[in-house]
Amino acid sequence: MTQSLEGKVVAITGASSGMGEAAARMLAKRGAKVVLGARRVDQLQALADCIAADGGQAAFAATDVTRREDLARLVQTACGRFGTLDVLVSNAGVAPISLLDELRVDDWEAMIDVNVKGVLHGIAAALPVFRAQGSGHFINIASTAGLATQPTMSVYAATKAAVRVLSEGLRQEAGDKLRVTLISPGFVRTNLAGSMTDPGVRARIADTMDRIAISPDAIAEAIAYAIAQPADVDVNEIVIRPTAQA
C-alpha cells in the first residue's frame, strides 16, 4: 500500500527544466509542497507561478549546486516556508562529454563539481535536518551511464557511478529512520545535450534523444513512486530507460 503525497515537502535541484521540472509539476499536482532549486531564477518563478495557478504550493531559491551555501539556503527555504523538509531530490547534472584524448579538463571538473559535489552538498545540507526530525528521504538521480560506459562518456560515467556508490554508502549509514533512493535514467527528452561542448558529440546525442528518448514524466513517476511508499519501505534503486535503448 502506498501513501499519499499530500503535504510532503520536497526540494528539487535542477528544477527549472527537464526531469526536475516534470517532477515538481507532478508532485505538486499530487499534493506535495515543492521547493524549486536551479540557477535560472526567472524560470523558477514562472514554474512556481504555474504550480500556484494550478492550486499547488511552491517556493524557490536560486541554487548553484556547486556552492554549498546555495544548498543550505534551499533547505532553509523549505523549512522556513513549510516548516520541514521530507525529501531532497538531487537532480542537477551536466554532461559535457568527449574523448579523453581531447583533454577538456575544464569539462571534467564541471562534471565532478555538479554531478558529484552537488550531491554531496545536498547531503551536507539536508542530513542534519533529517537527523533532527527523525525522518527524511534522499533521492539521487544518476544515469545508466553509471552502470556501463562507452567512448566519450568516461568522466560522466565515473561521476554517475560515484553517485551510485555515495547513495549506497548513505543508505547503509542512514539507519532505520531515513530512506535513500537512487534513480538511474537512460535517454530522457531533456536539454542535457545543451551542456555538451563538443559539437559532434552534442549532435549525436541530440539525434539519439530525438529517436528513442522517453518523457521526463517517466522519471517523475519513479520519484513519486519512491516517495509514496510506506515509511518502513525503502526503494533503493530504480533503473528506467527507453525500451529501444541498448
Q: Which of 82, 108, 138, 156 is catalytic?
A: 156
- Would you say 209 and 19 are in contact if contact means Cβ atoms under 8 Å apart? no
Q: What's the grid cell of residue 58? A: 511552491
Three-state helix/strand/coil letters over 75-109: HHHHHHHHCCCCEEEECCCCCCCCCHHHCCHHHHH
The answer to whether 177 touches 190, Cβ cutoff 8 Å, is no
Amino acid at 73: R
Question: Is there a catalytic annotation at residue 225?
Answer: no
Question: At which residue does the C-alpha cell 561542448 appear?
Answer: 197
User: Sheet containing 57-62: which strands, arranged edge to edge?
Assistant: 57-62, 33-38, 9-13, 87-90, 136-141, 178-185, 237-240
What are the backbone dihedrals phi and psi of residue 40, each rounded to the nearest 5 degrees, phi first?
-90, 95
Rg (CA), the chain: 17
CA angle 197, 16, 2 (to 5 degrees): 120
Which are the catalytic amino acids?
Answer: 156
